Structure 1
Amino acid sequence: MQTSSTTIAPPQPGADAPDLRPSPPSAAVTRMRRIFAPLHPFVWLPLAVTLVVLAIVWDRVAENMPYLLPPLGAVGETLVAEAGYYIANAAITLGEALAGLVVGFVSAFVVAVLVSELPVVRRAVLPLAVVLNVTPIVAIAPALVVAFGFGPLPKIVIASLICFFPILINTATGLRSVPAPVMQVYRTINASRAEILVHLRIPNALPFVFAALRIVFPLSIIGAVVAELSASGAMGGLGTVISVASSMNQLAVVYASIFVLALLGILLLGAVVLLERRLLRWHAAATT
């Protein structure tokens, strides 16, 4: 009589042990952490300490050299007392800067597409663009004011000139930096030149475009202010406010206008960063 023997497998080490590894946080927890991350002291405390130290140094310098810096209290008083005045002039400067930014962006993007697609255009346009970039805008501004008058047109032209070159170079670089294997796939399926441009080159160039926009958004404000400073007969804008206040030795008004300009630049930079995060989520996911 044969007896059947069953082979019992030896227990695997750790087979019955509970899994003590921490589970990954849920999406809601991750989202809440991102929302409240700026409230952590390690995030805001260094900047707060730096601002307090700068404010103390500012007031000490203003106390000893009032001809150089006004007291911060005087700057704050004029901002509060004349808030409507600064808002109205900031709106004029912002409108000129945004108009110049739109003109510069559209023209630079079109030229960048032509430069990336047509070598003849690249050889003809890029040297001129480099010459334009190294030409001081401050030297051009008075001539544009004489040519176009004291209205918004010279401010828009100068702001667009400042924005033109960074957008052109970054966009052209992005359009031409498509990975060779990806380009080969599109050519294998007989994609047309227009399809490659729309579905491959332009999406590939978007991170480069937003990198340029981070630079030119604040620069457009600078271009508008430079034009306003050059147009001594202009009737509005923070650049005009600075020019008039400087001639009357009103340092508090000058630095209040500079503070508003800095705030405009920060707001524009924050807007383009938010827009980049919303439109380029696919790029962030691909690079992480």
Structure 2
Amino acid sequence: MAVVTALRPRSIARTETAPRARRTIPPLPAAARPIVWGPTVVALVLVGLAWQAVAAGNPYILPRLPAVGTAFLADPLLFVSNAWATLQIALLGLVYGFGVAFVLAVLTSEFTLLRRAIMPLASVLNVTPVVALAPGLVVAFGFGMAPKVIVTAIITFFPVLANVSTGLRSVQGPVLDVFHTLQASRLEVLRRLRIPSAMPYTIAALRVTLPLSVVGAVVAEFVAAGSSTGLGTVIKTSAANSQLAQMYAAIGCLALLGVLMLAVITAFERRLLFWHESQQRRR
């Protein structure tokens, strides 16, 4: 028996004596790793400490953070209702601005003459101060929501047009040659090749325009006459009455609103563009 054991190959002996493989623990998601959220927390703490230091010596410039929290908790319904009014304007303006810009981007990518006619006009609209257009829009459309939605749509229009048109025209030549070899129609090339290829550019435009729509809504509430709701109106009224704590509480609500919108588009990007190289690198 001892002779048989001695004649066994070493590999078999090692296999029998090898310990069982340990179960591998799946890695934590990126958001749960301290290396990801730790620097953000440290930066927020440092900003809070600097805020408190400045507010202690300059109470007429910055209120203390506890005072801002107290102003919010004193009437949270005021901030929530006005945040909803601002969000409505922002989303409506984004929908109209995005829709018109996307259609024009498709048309300008297909027709060169149309691109040469529209892009200069879009550039002129982009560099025109939208604050100067607001009084005329109020005269034309009244004191309701329409002028604010139009102002927001104008602010969000050009980033979508520029990004989507670039994405539609950035199709690789060899892939386009394959579609031409298969005698694909212009509509098929657009639907099956150009629009999918432009999706990363479209999501990038949304990452810019979603928070920007909140800025556009607040600007519209600042400059549009007859505005009675919205966080922009709360900020304007609080500043006029020297209620700094209430004003910064409204600004904090705007910042939180922008962060939430950015988080939504980031989650949507990861779900929609899971195949793209940028998402593969994040994993």
Q: CA deviation at 1:50?
A: 1.8
Conserved? CA contact 2:274–2:280, under 8 Å: no
Could you tell me the TM-score, scaled by structure 2's length?
0.88
Distance apart, 1:286 and its partner CA: 8.7
Aligned partners of 1:232 and 1:240 also within 8 Å: no
Q: How does 1:38-77 map to 2 (within 5 A)?
A: 38-77=31-70
Moved over 3 A (4+): 14-18, 284-288
CA distance in 1, matches of 2:106, 2:34: 46
CA distance in 2, matches of 1:48, 1:287: 26
In structure 1, how many angstroms separate the alpha carbons of the residues matched to 2:242 and 2:201?
A: 43
Q: Does 1:29 align with 2:26?
A: yes
**Who is 2:203 aligned against?**
210
AA aligned opposite 2:248? Y
Q: What is aligned with 2:142?
A: 149
Once the two structures are aligned, what percentage of the paired residues are identical? 50
The answer to whether the aligner puts 1:239 opposite 2:232 as a matched pair is yes
Question: SS where residue 281 of structure 1 aligns?
Answer: coil
* Structure 2 unmatched ranges of 5 or more: 1-10
For the 8 Å contact 1:159–1:224, the answer to whether it is kept is yes
8 Å CA contact 2:135–2:225 kept in 1: the answer is: no
Find 2:108's aligned residue among 115, 118, 123. Answer: 115
2:86 equivalent to 1:89: no
Pick from 237, 249, 267: which aligns with 1:274? 267
Structure 2 residue aligned with 1:104 = 97
- The answer to whether residue 244 in structure 2 is matched with residue 251 in structure 1 is yes
TM-score norm. by structure 1 comes to 0.87
Whole-Å Cα distance in 2 between the matches of residues 58 and 282 of structure 1? 43
Could you say if the C-alpha distance between residues 72 and 172 of structure 1 is closer, same or farther in structure 2, counting changes exceeding 3 Å? same
CA RMSD, 1 decimal: 2.4
Where does structure 1 lack aligned partners over 5 or more consecutive residues?
A: 1-13
Deviation at 1:167, TM superposition (A): 0.4
| Separation (CA, whole Å) in 2 of partners of 1:17 and 1:133 | 73
* Secondary structure of the structure 2 residue equivalent to 1:29: coil
How far does residue 232 in structure 1 lie from its aligned partner after superposition? 4.2
- CA pair 206-16 structure 1, distance change in 2 beyond 3 A: farther
2:191 aligned residue (193, 198, 209): 198
Q: Which amino acid aligns with 1:208?
A: Y
The number of equivalent residue pairs is 268
Q: Which range moves more in the overlay, 277-286 or 215-224?
A: 277-286
Distance 2:85 2:222 in 1: 14
1:6-31 C-alpha deviation (Å, 9 max, x unpaired): xxxxxxxx99987x9xx9x97x825x
Counterpart code for 1:125: I
Q: CA deviation at 1:56?
A: 1.6
CA contact (8 A) 1:173 1:208 kept: yes
| Separation (CA, whole Å) in 2 of partners of 1:147 and 1:54 | 44
Q: Tell me how far apart the structure 1 counterparts of residues 198 and 12 of structure 2 sit (CA, whole Å).
A: 51
CA contact (8 A) 1:104 1:164 kept: yes
**CA 1:282 to 1:249, structure 2 compared with 1: closer, same or farther past 3 Å?**
same
CA distance in 1, matches of 2:33, 2:203: 28
Deviating more after overlay: 229-238 vs 95-104 = 229-238
Match of 1:178 in 2: 171
Q: Which moved more, 1:51-60 or 1:174-183?
A: 51-60
- Per-residue deviation at 1:197? 0.3
